[in-house]
Amino acid sequence: MQNLRVGGLASGIDTDAIVRDLMQVARAPVDRLYRQKQLLSWQQEDYREINKALLAFRDTVFAMRLQSTYLTKIAASSDPQAVAVTAAANAQEGVYQLGVRRLATGITLVSAWKLGEETGADGRIVPLSEQFGLAADQAITFTLQGKARDGLGGYKSVTIDCLAGEATIYDLVQQINQSELGLQASYDAQYNRFAITSSGTGESQRLFVQADASGFLNSCLGLSLVQGDTVSGQNAEFSLAGSVFESESNDCQLLGLSFTLKNAPANWAPGDEELAVTVQVGWDGEGVAEQIESFVQAYNDLLAKINAALAEERYSDYPPLTEKEKEGMTERQIELWEEKARSGLLKGDMIVGRIAHQLRAAMGALVEGLGSYRNLAALGITTSSYDKGGILHVDGDRLRAAVAKDPQAVMALFTQQAGPTEAQGVAQRVYEVVNRGIGDLSAVGGRESSFSLLDNSYLGRRLRELDEKIERWEDRLVKIEDRYWREFTVMEQAISRMNAQSAWLSQQFNVWWGGI
């Protein structure tokens, strides 16, 4: 609770202004602590930004350490409109003859005719009795089975039950969709059609009408379903290298190849001609070159970010603003001031500078024990001048020529693991540098993704120490302000007594002189 203080009643002095000025002087050490805390907080944010960039780059480097990155395959379909195909690294190169017989289908049942309007003349949703001309008290009951099974392994049955005068077409949709049968119902208000579809494809998709005594599904919803009917999906069927395969989905994986079947002969039957598609699988040299170019670009982006932080100008004449200082400034002035105040906090930083140096060294070093290509320069990847921060440039033609000439040597240049550090591949070395850098930056600045609520990094500890100092100073300032007010209060009391005595003496003199 804030004390209500009124000064200067006896002395006429503006005590509040004097105490405020005295406290402004007393707060100077606290303001210095606040400024120091803000600078450390900004510096911590800058460290974490660099750390986030290293973490993102590490994912790229990780892929470059794997041999599978350099063994990528490319697959081409002779008829992409019928079959789309991609190849994994373990797919064997060659030509495959694929024959498509049937596509996988699910269940799709739609009303055979336009149903009654579901809205009345007044725009309200009418009950089923009005939409289909039924008695209001007529019970609508039918039992369905889908692909879902119960705890005993049998098919789960769900009964849809409502009164025609109380439920609407949308209530039916909701009941079926909430039944967990693996079926979805919908109603198209534009065309007045009811539909039931399966959630997937293949023979496992099923709809069995276990009971529908009133024939509501057929006579009212126009789904051509009567009690005892079963509707199922269809598996995809195709042949490859003389063998026939089935799949519940049109997306199939086989021999390291991923097929998406898109077209098939109409009403195919045994003995009919298949839809023939030729699939050619080969090594993806262009893809490897693009991966290397992407890796170099990611490295350049990271190095540019680090170089910018190391070279950013520091404006020591622009300290962080206190809340009091901000009161007399516009938002734009504050923004421009703080832009300079937080600039260059990592200028010449030893930790960040060491990371940049080690990255450049790892990217440019020779890899011992290799033959054709022992460094990136041999692939046409060269370093810019020192004043440009070590940014790499890629000669795309030389890189692709090297990949085509000796792909195994290119792979070894990046991925080689055996032997001492000098024999480690480029990606292996860079990965180690990045990991060390992440650890060093985490130790000094912490990480936003830390699972611990306590930041034990160097700056985290420093910030906690400053918070404790600020808290102690704030307590001290309260006591100092109280002391100032007590002293002025004592002064006011003394002046008040003197004024009272002066008034009494004046009164006595007036009485004495008046009696003469």
**Which residue is it, tokens 């832009």?**
339
**35-39, 182-186, 196-200, 486-490: the lowest-pLDDT one:** 486-490
Specify the pTM.
0.71
Residue 492 lies in a domain: no
**Using CA atoms, how far apart are residues 268 and 275, in angstroms rounded to an integer?**
10
Residue 250 lies in a domain: yes
Per-residue confidence band for 432, with pLDDT thresholds at 50, 70 and 90: very high
Residue 213 lies in a domain: yes
Q: Considering 198, 232, 266, which residue would you say is the last residue of a domain?
A: 232
Neighbours of 484 (CB within 10 A): 17
Q: Using alpha carbons only, give the angle 160, 166, 172 rounded to the nearest 5 degrees.
A: 35
Q: pLDDT tens, 437-447?
A: 999 998 888 87
Which tokens hold the place of 335?
Answer: 């923004």
Q: Considering 212, 232, 252, which residue would you say is the last residue of a domain?
A: 232
Per-residue confidence band for 516, with pLDDT thresholds at 50, 70 and 90: low
**Mean pLDDT, to the nearest integer, of 388-405?**
90
Number of domains in the chain: 3
Q: Do residues 267 and 274 lie in contact, with contact meaning Cβ atoms separated by under 8 Å?
A: no
Q: pLDDT tens, 304-348?
A: 999 999 999 999 899 888 888 888 889 999 889 889 988 998 999
Q: Output the pLDDT for position 453.
A: 62
Q: Considering 209, 232, 255, which residue would you say is the last residue of a domain?
A: 232
Same domain for 441 and 331? yes
Using the predicted structure, report yes or no on whether residue 451 has a pLDDT greater than 60.
Answer: no
- Helix (H, G, I), strand (E, B), or coil: what is residue 425? coil
Residue 129's CATH number: 2.60.40
Using the predicted structure, report yes or no on whether residue 10 has a pLDDT greater than 60.
Answer: no
* Distance from chain centroid for Cα 277: 40
Same domain for 293 and 375? yes
Instruction: State how far the alpha carbon of 419 is from the alpha carbons of 212, 307, 368, 416, 425, in Å.
Output: 75, 32, 9, 9, 10
Residue 355 lies in a domain: yes
Which tokens hold the place of 399?
Answer: 């890189």
Same domain for 220 and 175? yes
Q: Output the pLDDT for position 24.
A: 73
**Mean pLDDT, to the nearest integer, of 278-301?**
94
Per-residue confidence band for 1, with pLDDT thresholds at 50, 70 and 90: very low
- Helix (H, G, I), strand (E, B), or coil: what is residue 394? strand
**Using CA atoms, how far apart are residues 342 and 295, in angstroms rounded to an integer?**
31
Same domain for 345 and 448? yes
Same domain for 329 and 360? yes
Same domain for 113 and 223? yes
Its domain, for residue 251, covers 73-104+235-283
296 versus 458: which is more confidently predicted? 296
Query: What does the buried/exposed string (b/e) look like for 247-257 if buried means 16 or more CB atoms within 10 Å of the residue's CB?
Result: bbebebebeeb
Residue 322 lies in a domain: yes
Q: Output the pLDDT for position 27.
A: 74
* Range among 187-201, 317-331, 376-390, 452-466 rated most confident: 187-201
Left (φ > 0), alpha (ψ -120 to 50) or beta: where does 162 sit?
Answer: beta
**Using CA atoms, how far apart are residues 305 and 466, in angstroms rounded to an integer?**
30
Q: Output the pLDDT for position 39.
A: 87
The DSSP code for 126 is P
The DSSP code for 119 is B
Residue 255 lies in a domain: yes
Same domain for 443 and 302? yes
Q: pLDDT tens, 256-268?
A: 999 999 999 999 9
Residue 478 lies in a domain: no
Same domain for 56 and 130? no
Left (φ > 0), alpha (ψ -120 to 50) or beta: where does 238 sit?
Answer: beta
**Using CA atoms, how far apart are residues 510 and 505, in angstroms rounded to an integer?**
9
Using the predicted structure, report yes or no on whether residue 273 has a pLDDT greater than 50.
Answer: yes
Residue type, 124: R
**Which residue is it, tokens 């009971």?**
211
Same domain for 387 and 344? yes
Which tokens hold the place of 282?
Answer: 């080969």
Same domain for 177 and 294? no
- Helix (H, G, I), strand (E, B), or coil: what is residue 250? coil
Q: Output the pLDDT for position 192.
A: 95
Q: Do residues 102 and 264 lie in contact, with contact meaning Cβ atoms separated by under 8 Å?
A: yes
Using the predicted structure, report yes or no on whether residue 372 has a pLDDT greater than 50.
Answer: yes
Q: Do residues 98 and 261 lie in contact, with contact meaning Cβ atoms separated by under 8 Å?
A: no
Q: Output the pLDDT for position 4.
A: 46
Same domain for 219 and 301? no
**Using CA atoms, how far apart are residues 464 and 474, in angstroms rounded to an integer?**
15
Which tokens hold the place of 208?
Answer: 């069995």
Residue 11 lies in a domain: no
Same domain for 182 and 314? no
